[in-house]
Amino acid sequence: MKTLSILFIAFFIQSASLVAQDKETGVAKTSFQEVTKELDPDGNFYAYISAKQIIEGIDKFIKLLETTLVDNLPVKDPRIGEAVRILKAMYEESGLREISGLGASSKELKKGFYRNTFFMHHYPNAKGKMWKFFGDEKNDLSAIKIFPENTVMAQYGTVNVPLFLNWIEDKLTSSRDPKISAIWDQMNIMSTMMGLPADKILGSLAGRMGYIVTLDKKNLVTMGDESKNIKIPEPGFSFIVETKNTDLYDMVTTFIKIKNPKAKAMNGPVGKMLILEKTKNGNFEMSPVLAQVGNYFIISSHPKHVNRIRLTKDGKLKNITTSANFKKAMAGIELKGDQLIYLSEEVLTTLKDAAEKLPKIDEGNKMNKAVQENLMGMLDSPVFLAGVVDVRNDGILFKMNSSFHGIQAVAIPAAVAPMAIVAGMALPVLSKAREKARRVNCNANLKQIGLALLMYSGDQNGTFPPDLGSLNELEIMNVSKVYVCPSSKKMIVPQNTADLRKGVGGYVYVKGLRDDNTNATTTILAYDKPENHPGGQWMNFLFVDGHVEGIGASSIEDALKKRSNWIVKGLNDKKPVGPLKP
Whether 11 has a pLDDT exceeding 60, the answer reads no
Lowest mean pLDDT among 388-402, 434-448, 497-511: 434-448
Q: What is the pLDDT of residue 411?
A: 52
pLDDT at 502 over 90: no
Ranked by mean pLDDT, the top range of 251-255, 379-383, 433-437 is 251-255
Q: C-alpha angle 438/284/442, rounded to 5°?
A: 10
Instruction: Examine the pLDDT at 291 and tell me if it is beyond 70.
Output: yes
Query: 246 falls in which pLDDT band (50, 70, 90)?
Result: very high
**φ, ψ dihedrals at 573, nearest 5°:** -75, 130
Distance, in Å, from the CA atom of 513 to the CA atom of 106, rounded to the nearest integer, reads 77
What angle (nearest 5°) sits at the alpha carbon of residue 432, between those of residues 379 and 424?
30
Predicted confidence (pLDDT) per residue in 301-344, tens digit:
999 999 999 999 999 999 999 999 999 999 999 999 999 999 99
pLDDT above 70: percentage of residues in the chain = 78
Check pLDDT > 90 for residue 57: no
For 148-158, write each residue's pLDDT tens digit. Answer: 999 999 999 99
Q: For residue 65, is pLDDT > 90?
A: no
**Partners of 549 in beta bridges:** 541
Buried b (16+ CB within 10 A) or exposed e, 287-313: bbbbbbbeebbbbbbbbbbbbbbbebb
Which strand (E) or helix (H) includes residue 207? Answer: strand 205-222
| Mean pLDDT value across residues 185-195 | 80
pLDDT score, position 5:
41
For the chain, how many helices (H) and strands (E)?
A: 18, 19
Residue 227's Cβ-count burial label (10 Å; 0-12, 13-18, 19+) is: middle
The helix (run of H) or strand (run of E) holding residue 433 is: helix 406-459
Quick one: 153 exposed, middle or buried, by C-beta within 10 A (0-12, 13-18, 19+)? Answer: buried
Q: Which residues contact 20 (CB under 8 A, 6 or more apart)?
A: none
pLDDT tens, residue by residue, 463-476: 999 999 999 888 88
Q: Do 208 and 156 touch, CB atoms closer than 8 A? A: yes
Q: What is the pTM of this model?
A: 0.65
Q: What is the pLDDT of residues 527-576, one digit of tens each?
A: 998 888 766 678 999 999 999 998 888 888 888 888 988 999 877 765 44
**2-25 helix and 52-64 helix, angle to the nearest 10 degrees:** 90
| For residue 410, pLDDT beyond 70 | no
Q: What pLDDT is recorded for position 70?
A: 63
What is the average per-residue pLDDT within 496-515?
90
Give the Cα separation of 297 and 552 in Å (integer). Answer: 40
pLDDT in tens, 368-409: 555 555 555 555 666 889 999 999 999 999 999 998 765 555
Listed residue (548, 553, 576) closest to 563, CA to CA: 553
What is the 3-class SS of 115-173, one letter each residue? EEEEEEEECCCCCCCHHHHCCCCCCCCHHHHHCECCEEEEEEEECCHHHHHHHHHHHHH
Which is more confidently placed, 206 or 279? 206
What is the pLDDT, as a whole number, of residue 117?
92
Task: Provide the residue ranges of all domains of the chain, joining segments of one domain with +.
Answer: 1-128, 438-562
